[in-house]
Copies of this chain bind each other. A is one copy, B any other.
Amino acid sequence: MDRNGVTEGELEGRGMNKCVEQVSHLALDIGGSLVKMVYFCGENSGSEHQQGILSSKESCGLSNGNTNCSVLRGKLHFRKFETSKINECLEFMSSKQFHRNGEDCHGASVSEKNIIKATGGGAFKFADLFKEKLGMTLDKVDEMNSLVAGANFLLKAASLEAYTYMDGQKEYVQIDQNDLYPYLLVNIGSGVSMIKVDGDGKFERVSGTSVGGGTFWGLGKLLTKCKSFDELLGLSYSGNNRVIDMLVGDIYGGMDYSKIGLSSTAIASSFGKAVSEDKDLEEYKPEDVARSLLRMISNNIGQIAYLNALRFGLKRIFFGGFFIRGHAYTMDTISVGVNFWSNGEAKAMFLRHEGFLGALGAFMSHRKDGFADLKAHHLVEQVPTKPSRNAGGCLNNSSVLKDVNENISIECTMQLSN
């Protein structure tokens, strides 16, 4: 729910044009599975619009002595599309008139409007398509650079951004900006990138794994009847991984094997129980399959992340990317994994805008040629409702998961260099 009491979706439906002229500084992160979009929208609407634009331009008193600028208040908006349905993204942009917003609006000139900052592999793959359909040029921004810039921005500028999650408890972490670096950034998209971050623009991609969100969704699609990532994730809520995973207790007959630090309920072999049982796929509940899959992948990512953090002596690991979706069980598994393998020495932390690091980073690259700085004030968040299920056991589209990232926006002030 934004300050006008409407969700992004409602805003679009009820009064699309209200925002049209105010939208500027759009950026895309076109990944293997999802297109993530971030755009800035001035805070006025309806009849107050023009006045709003003017009143939101103030003389600049925000930053480091640069008075040759003005300031805009507004919101950063977040949106996602499936990469396989990239036309929906193009249609959305067309409907918002991103591509022909010719006025000198919010510091973006006509020529700048026709250039969109874009990162992710799709910035290369779909460059011609954007040119052909919208007449827009994708200005490619390095993917790792974008992820790091996005994470650094959020960790420094947004309050209540990072949090820990364990045993159902979410705890916000106050980040000391002078003690932020170094940290490990683990971005879980279709695949997983692990980046050691030492400062603004100072980073190294130290590791990664192909077992990521695309594996969960891809394997999950093949194993269950669910048709989307969010349905599959929702399904895992009610699943029981012990039905399919082989536990230490299954091998040892219920005894603990504490000498090697494993309990009888630890997973010895993911999906290992399917080996000895003479059951076809159809005889397993899809929710149990989804749960085992989620646990296998989350735990694996947590372990590889921890091993990389250990390698470079990093105590803090921030997890981002669209795989997480603020999903309790995913975060819990990752946290437990990091905690278990590090004997409590390393901490898994999560980011509220987890899915939009790359897009935000690409957005930040406007700084060089459009605006001088961006200050985040506070977040406006849609309180999630309890998910409902359809007859097939899958979550309805109206579920919390689908919109957990989209219904967050950031109120911010954009400082423009004139």
Contacts and interface: CB of A to CB of B under 8 A. Distances in A.
B214 A269 contact: yes
Contacts of A311: 307, 310-311
Interface stretch (A8-16, A179-187, A270-278): A270-278
Contacts of A229: 275
Interface stretch (A72-80, A94-102, A247-255, A375-383): A247-255
A215 B271 contact: yes
Interface stretch (A36-44, A205-213, A351-359): A205-213
27 contacts: A31-B251, A32-B246, A32-B272, A32-B275, A120-B251, A124-B253, A124-B255, A125-B251, A126-B253, A143-B257, A144-B260, A190-B246, A191-B246, A191-B267, A207-B303, A207-B307, A210-B268, A211-B296, A214-B268, A215-B272, A218-B246, A218-B269, A222-B281, A222-B289, A281-B281, A307-B308, A307-B311
Interface string A193-230: 10000000000010101111111011101110000010
Given A32-B268, A211-B211, A307-B308, 10 more contacts: A122-B251, A143-B257, A205-B260, A209-B300, A210-B245, A211-B270, A212-B272, A215-B296, A217-B272, A221-B274
A2 interface: no
Interface in A231-262: 244-246, 248, 250-253, 255, 257, 259-261
Contacts of A144: 260
Contact of A269 (B215, B248, B300, B310): B215
A281 B271 CA distance: 18
B275 A33 contact: yes
Most buried by B among A82, A219, A252, A259: A219
A237 B193 CA distance: 30
Instruction: Say how many copies of this protein the assembly contains.
Output: 2
B268 A191 contact: yes
Contacts of A248: 121
A269 B191 contact: yes
A292 to B, nearest CB: 9
A189 B192 CA distance: 26
A244 B270 contact: no
Contact of A121 (B126, B142, B210, B252): B252
Nearest to A223: B222
A247 to B, nearest CB: 9
B303 A270 contact: no
Contacts of A142: 259
Contacts of A244: 218
A399 interface: no
B276 A84 contact: yes
B307 A218 contact: no
A353 to B, nearest CB: 22
